[in-house]
Structure 1
Amino acid sequence: MLGSPCAKGPGRGQDGRMLDETLSYALIKVVKTQRNRMAAALAPLGLHVGQEMLLNQLWKEDGLTQGELIARLGVEPPTVTKTLQRLERTGFVYRVPDPDRPRVSRVQLTDAGKALREPVEEIWTTMDQDLLRGFEPGERDLLAQLIRRAMP
């Protein structure tokens, strides 16, 4: 059973559980499955997993700087650089110089980038519904609350 200690032995952690009996293992399996499903759902839109996260920040506030995107997404600068380059190549965003800071550029959504909002939000809603199918509403809320509490 997930989370319950077992006898110590080969292949067991310090608490006696096998690796695949840990909560971390179960969470990683769920995340991998969701990531694969998300990749398949986003591909027809011309997006890779993670790009929709950056677009989401721009849907909330268009014209952010690369530094602001890095801070809001909590990722490394090279990740945002590569993501922006791909999104520019596909015509979803473009950069404009910041009038007050010559060395800074602001990222703007194109009409094509703005048009992705509704289909991406539909994908995320469907993913949530599929993931939580079989859970009671109270269980869904509790699961979300517990996962958020565990986040660093």
Structure 2
Amino acid sequence: MAKADRTATMSRLHSAARLARTALASRLLAHGFYAGQDQIMLTLDREDGQTPGALADRLGVRPPTITKTINRLQAQGFLDKRASNSDARQAHIFLTDSGREMIMAIEKSVKKTEKQALKGLDKKDQKALHKLLARIEANLSGADATVEEEAEAEE
């Protein structure tokens, strides 16, 4: 492999991820959301009432980052913070009705960005790309699960 090509794959992966984030951020901004806020909203849509710590763990970010983002989303009227019934020191985060209404806009933004990114790839190529990205994620995260098992489970 030529010297210039040694980092070509990582450069392409990094560039594609950056461009995807930029395209998605532009679409989300049209709905009043900033980078990262969409992931909190979608995570709560799947499982409402999580603690800030659980959200931070799930999304792979630091607790102070989650706290700041939750506070912004709460100020926008999309989230509600409630004390735990069992431990008043612990808060649980819930989507408000306004927050639930925004989920469709977020999902639509994600789908449009994905469609833009995958333009020109047939279903077979998309499936292969998905499998390859899952392998890269597993390699970088040190996960033991095989990509083949994950791919079969998704079908």
Which residue pairs with 2:124 in the alignment? 138
The Cα offsets for residues 54-102 of structure 1, whole Å up to 9 and x where unpaired, read as 1111101111111111121121111111111111111110100001012
TM-fit CA distance, 1:51:
0.6
- Backbone CA RMSD of aligned residues: 1.3
Counterpart of 1:91 in structure 2: which amino acid?
G
Which residue pairs with 1:9 in the alignment? none
Q: Is 1:105 aligned to residue 91 of structure 2? A: yes
Q: Is 1:24 aligned to residue 47 of structure 2? A: no
Counterpart of 1:132 in structure 2: which amino acid?
L
Structure 2: distance between partners of 1:57 and 1:69: 8
Which residue pairs with 1:11 in the alignment? none
Correspondence for 1:57 among 43, 55, 75: 43
Q: What TM-score results when the alignment is normalised by the length of structure 1?
A: 0.86
Structure 2: distance between partners of 1:127 and 1:79: 25
Aligned length: 138
Structure 1: distance between partners of 2:104 and 2:63: 27
TM-fit CA distance, 1:17:
2.6
SS in 2 for 1:48: coil
Correspondence for 1:43 among 29, 36, 45: 29
Q: What TM-score results when the alignment is normalised by the length of structure 2?
A: 0.84
Higher relative CO (Cα under 8 Å, sequence separation at least 6) belongs to: 2
Structure 2 gap segments, 5+ residues each: 142-155
Which residue pairs with 1:89 in the alignment? 75
Q: Which has a greater percent of helix?
A: 2
Structure 2: distance between partners of 1:117 and 1:127: 15
Structure 1 gap segments, 5+ residues each: 7-15
Structure 1: distance between partners of 2:88 and 2:76: 26
Counterpart of 1:47 in structure 2: which amino acid?
F
Q: Structure 1 residues 18, 145: CA separation in 2 closer, same or farther (over 3 Å shift)?
A: closer
Greater Rg by CA? 1
Which residue pairs with 1:69 in the alignment? 55
TM-fit CA distance, 1:18:
5.2
Structure 1: distance between partners of 2:111 and 2:5: 34
SS in 2 for 1:117: helix
Structure 2: distance between partners of 1:35 and 1:88: 23
Structure 2: distance between partners of 1:51 and 1:90: 11
Structure 1: distance between partners of 2:26 and 2:118: 19
